[in-house]
Amino acid sequence: MSHFRRVDPGQKSGLAYGLSMLLRPVVYRRRVLPAERKRAKEILEQYGHSSLAHLTLLPDKYYFFSDSGQSFAAYTLVGNVVVVLGDPIGPDGDIPRLIAQFKITCAKNDWHPVFYQVLPDYLPVYRDLGLKSLKIGEEAVVDIRNFSLAGSARKSLRWSVNRLLRQGYTTKLFPPPLTDDVLDQLKEVSEEWLKL
């Protein structure tokens, strides 16, 4: 004997909604808590060594901390792609585990992780976790303690610098870690430049 029951149309839509909520990827929206930003800054001051490290404190970044709380990855979420700026920051021994934990979190949320502008130090870790490397370019590194504009090889650069000086431009070096005030000023300049 078959037993059928009529389903109310409202129940159908509720059931469909509930099922779609269970099966869809997690939508991850949150704010960075002041304590998280403070902790990231403390870790950065102790372990940050790349030229990108100070950019991890910009307001568009979220933080993923290792289980130990000693390291973090700074990232931005664009659709279902998570872009991590540089390598995670923290003690060397903590970073491989953080990368593995982050990849697991990404998989649970149906995110695709991208580590942008990483150093060669952790390439084997990324590869072991199934990530592929793609060389996009190289970062110019200048030893400013030994840099000089003297000589014929620097003639055109020297001319450009002198022209800027005549127009009233100056330069100032801000050693890391950068203050919040300096980061705010850099953000303002960057946003103005992006409007061009």
**CA 179 to CA 151: how far, in whole Å?**
36
pLDDT of 194: 81
Element (H, E) at 34: helix 34-47
Residue 80, number of CB atoms within 10 A of its CB:
13
**Beta strands 81-85 and 72-78: pairing type?**
antiparallel
For the chain, the structural domain boundaries read: 34-128
In sequence order, the 6+-apart residues with CB closer than 8 A to the CB of 111 are 25, 28, 77, 80, 81, 82, 105
| pLDDT reported for residue 8 | 57
Q: Which two tokens stand for residue 75?
A: 């990232």
Measure CA of the first residue to CA of the last residue in the chain; give whole Å.
Answer: 74
Q: What class, spelled out in words, does domain 34-128 have in CATH?
A: alpha beta
Q: Residue 27's pLDDT is what? A: 46
Whole-model pTM: value is: 0.62
pLDDT single digits (tens) 50-73: 888 999 999 899 999 999 999 999
Identify each DSSP E strand in the chain by its residue range.
62-65, 72-78, 81-85, 112-116
- pLDDT-based confidence at 28, cuts 50/70/90? very low
Distances (CA, A) of 70 to 49, 57, 124, 131: 15, 16, 21, 23
Q: What is the pLDDT of residues 101-131, one digit of tens each?
A: 999 999 999 999 999 999 899 999 999 999 9
Q: Are 135 and 118 in contact (CB under 8 A)?
A: no
Report d(CA 87, CA 47) in Å as an integer: 11
Mean pLDDT across the chain = 86
pLDDT of residue 1: 52
**DSSP assignment, residue 137?**
-
Element (H, E) at 116: strand 112-116
